[in-house]
Structure 1
Amino acid sequence: MNKKMIGKLVGVLFFLEALFMLPAIAVCFVYGETGAPLRGFLWTVALLLALSGALYGVCAKATREFYAKEGFIIVALGWILLSAMGALPFYISGEIPHYVDAFFETVSGFTTTGASVLTDVEAMSHGLLYWRSFTHWLGGMGMLVFLLAVVPTGKGAGYSIHLLRAESPGPSVGKMVPRMRQTASLLYKIYIVLTVLCVLFLLAGGMPLFDSLCTAFGTAGTGGFGIKNNSMADYSPYLQNVCTVFMALFGVNFSVYFLLLLREWRGALLDEELLLYGGIMLTAMFVIAADITPLFSGFGEAFHHASFTVSSVMTTTGFATEDFNLWPQLSRAILCILMVVGASAGSTGGGIKVARLLLLFKSLAAEVRRMLRPRSVNVVRVNGRVVKDEVLRGVNVYMAAYCAIAVASFLAVSVDDFSLETNLTAVLACFNNIGPGLDLVGPASNYSLFSTFSKVVLSLDMLLGRLEIFPIIVLFSRHTWNRTR
């Protein structure tokens, strides 16, 4: 194992995190928050730079030998350490006085979950509110993807692909362009352009600049940290509609946008995952709107709130305009299903991913055909291409691990003795990186009621969900640290 290369990359990540805290420090100065919030950032930046310098100095002569094992380790370890350090401004400033709560909040930010322990968001300083929302934007595309895009720390496609595969969500990661660094750079360019467009549309609707930036960070990263206690409920229908559209756009596989840039309209618009993603979303919107119409002045208002909520839940963003915990049972059941389904592979959204659902359906159909005609050759195709057996095997293994972890987590948090609905949806909401669940963790509530033990379990669930399980398992596996490869 190339431990020096791992240490070197962690040092680079610490340096990047320190850099990304500078805008939050500027926000503190703009709003005159030069007391505890500023001290929290300054101490954290100093510590990050010291650790970065020490790690980079000790590991400067690392060899460029880099394999899949190192890729999984650096991604899992990097995300845990970035969250641990990113929590320090909240803790040092005293705005979140307990470190486990600060860690939970930061993990929720970086994993774009949006689950919060804060009971009064509006009481937080602007600098920390900005950092809290900005963690969504950083986590949406991934810090390692950013590192690949802008920092030349290694050579060779093998180095890059191991990092990208370990961090990027979805059943498989391929190259959009021949060089992986170009792929990472292209992903971030698309991400930045869509984020800027979202900010401009929000500004056009009269939203203040600070609110627009924080809301756009949460929308782009499909995270859902709001800067108001009632999330998006106080904003105008226009602003809510802007978020509805952009949440759905950020839940699309970014390779679709790449195909659109190449003007390959047919390949982009007839993508099977995109069609299934859009079909599920639109169907859920109309069914829920019909179900909740009696709660509103008419079908139009009901469809507005249903569209926002479905877009928010399916893309695992977590913004809310209404407390859907009070909606009829059918609507809440559909939303629970959408929590699990999630967004598209290669998007900033969480959940199982529509791509995996598509592959599971196609694998089931192929198996039925094989049972009826044992001698026939049955293959699974997506967009006309044969899916490799290793991809199908990966999907099956992922689903088995997903179910096992969800059950174990549900049993673990049940020691807090809350209702079945509370505990189950809390696990689903954190594991699928959504944020709000039902009952005591609904949109109008938060996670402060859970014990320290449960918060640690749910924090781990958020990391497992965002990193697609395997990097975390590899990090804590004893086989990983054996001397033999």
Structure 2
Amino acid sequence: MNLKIVLRSLGILLICEAIALLPPTLVAFLYQDGDLPAFLITISIVLAVGATLSFIKPTSKNIYARDGFAIVAMGWLLMSFFGAFPFYISGAFPSFIDSFFESSSGLTTTGSSILTAIEGLPHGVLFWRSFTHWIGGMGILVLTIAILPSLGTGSMQIMKAESPGPIVGRIVPKLGKTAKILYSIYLGITLVEVLLLCLAGMNVFDAFIHALGTVGTGGFSNMNASVGYYNSALIDWIITIFMIVCGVNFSLYYLIFKGNIKTFFKNNELRVYLCILLGAILLITVDLLARHTYGSFGEALRFSSFQAASVMTTTGYATADFNEWSMFSKMILLILMFIGGCAGSTAGGLKVSRAIICFKSIKHSLKQIIHPNGYYSVRMDGKKIDDKTVLSVLNYFFIYMIIFTIGIIIISLDGFDFTTTLTSVITTLNNIGPGLGLVGPTGNFSAFSDVSKLVFSILMIIGRLEIYPILLLLTPDLWKKN
């Protein structure tokens, strides 16, 4: 490992986090809720640590694969650690472990919370809580590459290690320009949603809070009842549409910008994503109508669309307590929790592209049994997926199930019911937010032990980084000199 370039990169990353703390500091200054000192102290600490590390001069600026993974893994752990400071110093959270849980949940765009009362929190804390979704959604490291392309000649290794999905590539030849394009699209979608939510009746502060949570597919709201507080069909549909939009690979939106609309709609993952989501909405709508949960088709469609989109894109907003829905509807939502959104989106979960590759691989394996002399390759969008990528996807599923199982075993020590224990691990590992049982839309994670909260925090980071970066930190070979 090139330790000096890793430490210097972490220093630059912390400086970026200090900059990211400026908007909530401004909000704290404007509202004067007493949380301003917490942000000023945090910025001072983060800047001091970041500046110290950034002054380290590496002998080589090359960033190799293991350096990229180390920067990503340690970077997200440090970001979550220092991101907890405003929560704890302001007194908004009872302990640092709770603060670390909330910070990890925000930056990984999970949206799980330990809070039982949200509406009384200072505005600066509420804004930082939601802003962590936005900077974590596209990735603070991608942002760093966008504004500081001088990180090194191997910055692509950072993007590969951090970006969600099995395949990562450039939109344009220059990586810094690719990151800037992605963030321009990201910012544009955010501002459009803010405007529409304001026109729908939200005040500016609430519009920003919910737009940040939607585009980052995070789900933190400043209301105890989440989006259900507004009881507005228009607001529900606006957020539903934007959740679906942000569950799509952001690189595809660049195709629309370039006028290549046909290629956009021909994308295999996009079509499967929309088919799964629309199928789930239809099934839940029919089930809700059959059980007379809602009085009309319009109501059933509105609530089923919102919750299906919220769960599949792993946003986590709620307009209804789906804990009270039938087992059939809850099982559909549970399946969506595992699938997640598209690769290259801000959504979590296993990703639609991995599901496609896995099913196609199974299909070709069956064909190989029938025709042993035949050769079959997995293809997406007319392109062959190399065997290394297919094997990587299958390995990912296996490792995912091991981590999932270990998580359930540890959390079960708290003694909660099966549904709560199972879905609490599912929702944190897949970066969803609410689960079922005690951690449903109207519940939270406050009843869990400190050990469980730390486990959940690590699971959220593991899920956001797609497992490998955190696991590689435990590998002795990672720490050897290049």
* Superposition TM-score, scaled by structure 2 size: 0.98
> 2:476 and 2:451 mapped to 1: Cα distance?
24
Cα-Cα RMSD: 1.0
Match of 2:226 among 231, 255, 261: 231
Letter of the 2:381 partner, please give it: N
> 1:73 and 1:120 mapped to 2: Cα distance?
37
Letter of the 1:105 partner, please give it: E
Report the CA distance between 1:307 and its aligned residue.
Answer: 0.1
Residue matched to 2:23:
23
Report the CA distance between 1:60 and its aligned residue.
Answer: 3.1
Q: Which moves more between the two structures, 468-477 or 313-322?
A: 468-477
Residue matched to 1:80:
77
Residue matched to 2:6:
6
- 1:8/1:62 contact within 8 Å kept: no
Residue matched to 1:180:
175
SS in 2 for 1:433: coil
Residue matched to 2:191:
196
Task: Spell out structure 1 runs of 4+ moving beyond 3 A.
Answer: none
Taking only the aligned residue pairs, the percentage that are identical comes to 44
Residue matched to 2:100:
103
**Residue 327 (str. 1) matches residue 289 (str. 2):** no
SS in 2 for 1:14: helix
Structure 1 segments unaligned to the other structure (5+ residues): none
**Residue 163 (str. 1) matches residue 158 (str. 2):** yes
- 1:350/1:433 contact within 8 Å kept: yes
> 2:237 and 2:173 mapped to 1: Cα distance?
38
SS in 1 for 2:151: coil
> 1:377 and 1:93 mapped to 2: Cα distance?
62
Residue matched to 2:454:
456
- 2:404/2:425 contact within 8 Å kept: yes
**Residue 214 (str. 1) matches residue 209 (str. 2):** yes
Residue matched to 1:63:
60
Match of 1:380 among 378, 381, 386: 378
Pairing of 1:38-49 with structure 2 (within 5 A): 38-49=36-47
Letter of the 1:301 partner, please give it: E
Deviation string 1:12-60 (CA, Å, 9 cap, x unpaired) is 1111111111111111121122x3x111111111101111121122x13
SS in 1 for 2:227: coil
Report the CA distance between 1:155 and its aligned residue.
Answer: 4.2
Letter of the 1:454 partner, please give it: S
SS in 2 for 1:295: coil
Letter of the 1:228 partner, please give it: M
> 1:224 and 1:4 mapped to 2: Cα distance?
37
> 1:22 and 1:476 mapped to 2: Cα distance?
34
Residue matched to 2:145:
148
Deviation string 1:85-132 (CA, Å, 9 cap, x unpaired) is 010011111110200000000000000000000000101100000000
Letter of the 2:247 partner, please give it: G
Residue matched to 1:318:
316
Match of 2:295 among 284, 294, 297: 297
* Superposition TM-score, scaled by structure 1 size: 0.97
- 2:190/2:211 contact within 8 Å kept: yes
Aligned pair count?
Answer: 479
Structure 2 segments unaligned to the other structure (5+ residues): none
> 2:355 and 2:301 mapped to 1: Cα distance?
26
- 1:71/1:163 contact within 8 Å kept: yes
> 1:62 and 1:335 mapped to 2: Cα distance?
51
Letter of the 1:287 partner, please give it: L
SS in 1 for 2:119: helix
Residue matched to 1:32:
32
SS in 2 for 1:234: helix
Letter of the 1:174 partner, please give it: G
Letter of the 1:191 partner, please give it: Y
Letter of the 1:64 partner, please give it: K
Report the CA distance between 1:153 and its aligned residue.
Answer: 2.5
Report the CA distance between 1:180 and its aligned residue.
Answer: 1.2
Report the CA distance between 1:283 and its aligned residue.
Answer: 0.5
Match of 1:262 among 246, 254, 258: 258
- 1:141/1:221 contact within 8 Å kept: yes
Residue matched to 2:271:
275
- 2:70/2:473 contact within 8 Å kept: yes
> 2:120 and 2:313 mapped to 1: Cα distance?
28
